[in-house]
Structure 1
Amino acid sequence: MRTPHDELRAGLREAAEAYEPDRARILARVERGMAAGPEEKRPRRRATRPPLLGWARVAGATAAVSGILAMGGYALASAVKSDETPADPTVSVSPLPTPSPDATSRAPVQPAPEPSGGNTQDDKPSSTPTPTPEASNTAAAPAAKGTEDGPLWSDGSVDPHSNDFWAQSNVTIKTSEQLTTLTVELKVAETDGVTSAGAWRSAPEDDFELTVAERDGFLVYTWVLKEGRTVWPGEYVFAGQYDHTRGGRDAKDDTYAVTATAAGEQRAVKGDFAGQDSNDESDEGDS
């Protein structure tokens, strides 16, 4: 709501902005004043006064113009200055101290545990102890009796591309139904200087958590399907890679175990790897 003071201020500003001095008319009057003395025929005794009178008129007109311009500039400056100053300086100060100590104390407490429990397991697979979910899944699953259980089938083999210094053990699984949980464990006996050289799987990498650890004389590779992910029907390979001393390595002590959930039922399979002697016998039979 505008006060009389605001209306007066606005009127002065509008008047100052609307005022435009007629410079041509003022100069014309000055010129007429200067030329009026010599053109008019006056008595001889007043011949000396017109110049002084003409200059007085010029000075008066100039002073009047300067005064008008000064008043207009002052009015404009005062109107602009008054508009720049805030009408109520207390309005910007009043809404300042609104945060309450309760809100600030609750904010850091509530969101902190929620994201840490949901996402850090994916970002830090090494720090999260995967044996805990493995133990719970294995305990709930029935004891594996062989390489096949319902829709789940498995096989273990040493990759044919292995050489005298490096080898790869493959665990192949097939499922005819969708799996909602899956844990694959590969145990490589730490013989002949076995050390881990990596691992891979044909299933999507982001769907699994991988841990590699040494336990009870074995190099253990474990893949655990993340919560909320599924494995579609098909064939998948989980491979552990390792270095060893020069020469052929016997994989007779290596084993694997797989637990899964298909159609709400727990499934479990297990197996081992062919030893070096059996491979030699198969080669002789082929020859």
Structure 2
Amino acid sequence: MTGPRRDPDGELRARLREAAGVHRPDRARILARVKRGRAAEDQGAARPRLPDWVRVAGATAAVAGVLVAGGCAVASVVRDDAPARHPVAAPPGSRETGSREAGPLWSRGAVDPHSNEFWAQSNITLGTSTALTALTVELRVAQTGSVTSTGAWRSLPADDFTFTLDERDGFLVYRWTLKEGRTVPAGEWVFAGQYNHGRGGRDAGGDRYSAAATAASGPLAVRGGFTPGG
């Protein structure tokens, strides 16, 4: 035979009820805790807690200060690293020659700084503040000895121009002519002629360029030379 089954959960509940019946709370200790809690609240009231938005604003201002201080250095670096506005520059220590008029068309001529003792490139930078309906650009490179063309390019679309290369009167002549019905938009544009030459630094003092254009206001023209010794 087996005896009656034990009920652990029932025994636990009976013991808890018995303990609860004999427990007497310590009223003095409870009252003391309440008094201490109220005193702490009174001290906190003397030093009011800042609203959340004030704390957030303070933190934001601190972060903004750091960003502003760092931003000065970043702006300086970006400004120093920014590319030059004009894609063409004269060799170091030289001056550019060209034409700046009161009208909408201006120009600048310079020997490309990447030229070397055997090869050179002459750059014509043409600027216009209005659309051009006709344009002819001519580059004349003086035959200073063993000067032979190695090519030419322009920053405007090739299909918009007819290009010719001749040698006459002691010059290598590069000519770009805008095709009928095409236009040159306002902006800054480069026309460049490339050529080999005799070994050593070549004197570009005898080189010349010119440009004739037509705009809504009428005919326009510029001309100039190139920096010697490029």
What TM-score does the superposition give when structure 1 sets the normalisation length?
0.45
> What are the Cα deviations for residues 249-274 of structure 1, in whole angstroms up to 9, with x where unaligned?
00000000000011140000000011
1:174 match: 127
Matched, 1:226 2:179: yes
- CA distance in structure 1 between the aligned counterparts of 2:195 and 2:223, rounded to whole angstroms: 21
Report the count of equivalent residues.
132
Q: Contact 1:210–1:224 (CA<8 Å) still a contact in 2? A: yes
Runs of 4+ in 1 over 4 A off after TM superposition: none
Secondary structure of 1:211 counterpart: strand
- Alignment of 1:211 onto 2:184: no
Pick one of 146, 154, 165 that aligns with 2:107: 154
- CA–CA distance in structure 2, aligned partners of residues 201 and 252 of structure 1: 22
Alignment correspondent of 2:47: none
User: Which structure 2 residues correspond to residues 190-205 of structure 1 after superposition, within 5 A?
Assistant: 190-205=143-158
Q: Gaps spanning 5+ residues in structure 2: where?
A: 1-97
Provide the rounded CA distance (Å) in 2 between the counterparts of 1:148 and 1:237: 16
* CA deviation map 1:189-213 (0-9, x unaligned): 0112100110000001000000000
Q: Which has the higher strand share?
A: 2
CA distance in 1 between counterparts of 2:108 and 2:227 reads 11
RMSD: 1.2
CA distance in 1, matches of 2:162, 2:100: 24
1:250 alignment partner, one of 181, 203, 214: 203
Amino acid at match of 1:271: G
Aligned pairs for 1:1-287 (under 5 A) are: 147-149=99-101, 150-276=103-229
CA offsets 1:25-62 (integer angstroms, 9 cap, x no match): xxxxxxxxxxxxxxxxxxxxxxxxxxxxxxxxxxxxxx
Could you tell me which runs of 5 or more consecutive residues in structure 1 were left unpaired when the two chains were aligned.
1-145, 280-287
Q: Secondary structure at the match of 2:139?
A: strand
Amino acid at match of 2:100: E
Query: Relative CO higher for 1 or 2, CA cutoff 8 Å, sep ≥ 6?
Result: 2
Please give the alpha-carbon distance, in whole angstroms, between the structure 2 residues aligned to 1:264 and 1:151. 9
Match of 1:101 in 2: none
C-alpha distance in 2 between matches for 1:231 and 1:177: 9
Return the alpha-carbon distance in structure 1 between the equivalents of residues 100 and 212 of structure 2: 11
Query: Matches of 1:210 and 1:249 in 2, distance apart?
Result: 25
Contact 1:192 1:249 in 2 (8 A): no
The Cα shift of 1:237 comes to: 0.3
Q: Which amino acid aligns with 1:200?
A: W
Which SS does the other structure have where 1:206 is aligned?
A: helix
Query: What is residue 100 of structure 1 aligned with on the other side?
Result: none
Q: Once the 2 structures are TM-superposed, how far is the Cα of residue 245 of structure 1 from its aligned partner?
A: 1.2
Larger Rg: 1
Greater fraction helix: 1
Q: How far apart, in 1, do the equivalents of 2:168 and 2:99 lie?
A: 24
Q: Distance between the aligned counterparts of 1:275 and 1:223, measured in 2?
A: 23
User: CA separation in 1, counterparts of 2:154 and 2:140?
Assistant: 16
Q: Which amino acid aligns with 2:193?
A: G
